[in-house]
Amino acid sequence: MKLSKILSRSNRFRLLRLKSRLNGKYIPGELPFTWDTTIYNRSAVISKVIGLIGATSYLEIGCFTDAVFKAIDCKHKVGVDPARGGTVRATSDDFFASNRETFDVIFVDGLHTYEQVRVDLLNSFKVLNEGGVILMHDCLPLNYDEQAIPCQSKAWTGDVWKAAFEFKQNPDIDMRIIVLDHGVGILKSCKNTQLKSFSTDNFADLDFNFFQQKYEELGLMEYDDVEDFVRQK
């Protein structure tokens, strides 16, 4: 039997962190943020956006304990998760394959890998109503361990940040990252007002050095800037 199978979750994480240091993959460095001192969180942002655009339909991809899904006040809510929470027991891929509804606000917070988040975002844009807004959680890992694949940290953003870089160079999507609660991406289907070019199309292979050098180019903003960004045509 594999050692990783019989270890507790925290010991498995310890082992993976140790391995990353021994095999030379680990990249040191820490972002200058602390999430537990920020006043607002992802639920506050989602609620604010729902109020600003008068949203009547909300889709959440990845619901877990429903901590956010239950807190959101919206006329029609659909929550998708293959394991727990929400209203639809399915993976996001299976949900989007059969879904016929459209939504005003979509929160992408399912499987935290670049490949899955990228597909979840592309599928979300296909079912986003005109004037709608997409939010995505976990865009700002504080250190290497938080973003490593496989998960080796209790606070796990995965490599969602790679999808953020990819969408930042899409001319038809405007995106910012709100600096709270592990980084909440906010995306609209309209002209990109901060178009970037990162000289790569291979986002999957970017490493944490790249993230540390360039994360401010993702377009960081504060909670108080959300209204202007949402209203901007």
Ligand X SMILES: C[S@@+](CC[C@H](N)C(=O)[O-])C[C@H]1O[C@@H](n2cnc3c(N)ncnc32)[C@H](O)[C@@H]1O
Binding to ligand X by residue 163, rule CB under 6 A?
no
Taking CB atoms within 8 Å and a gap of at least 24, the contacts of 206-210 are 206/162, 206/165, 207/27, 208/27, 208/29, 208/141, 208/144, 208/147, 209/27, 209/29
Contact 113, 156 (CB under 8 A): no
Of residues 20-59, which lie at the interface with ligand X (CB under 6 A)? 42
CA 156 to chain centre: 11
> Pattern 95-124, binding to ligand X, x per CB under 6 A?
--------------xxx----x--------
Binding to ligand X by residue 92, rule CB under 6 A?
yes
Q: Calculate the alpha carbon distances from 38 to 35, 43, 181, 188, 206 in Å.
A: 6, 13, 8, 24, 29
> Pick from 16, 45, 59, 80: which binds ligand X (CB under 6 A)?
80
Binding to ligand X by residue 72, rule CB under 6 A?
no
Per CB under 6 A, the segment of 18-26, 47-55, 64-72, 214-222 that binds ligand X is 64-72
Binding to ligand X by residue 178, rule CB under 6 A?
no
If the CB atoms of residues 67 and 195 are measured against ligand X, the closer one turns out to be: 67
Count of residues binding ligand X (CB under 6 A)? 19
Binding to ligand X by residue 62, rule CB under 6 A?
yes
HSE value, Cβ hemisphere, 13 Å, CA-based, for 209: 4
Per CB under 6 A, residues contacting ligand X are 42, 60-64, 67-68, 80-84, 91-92, 109-111, 116
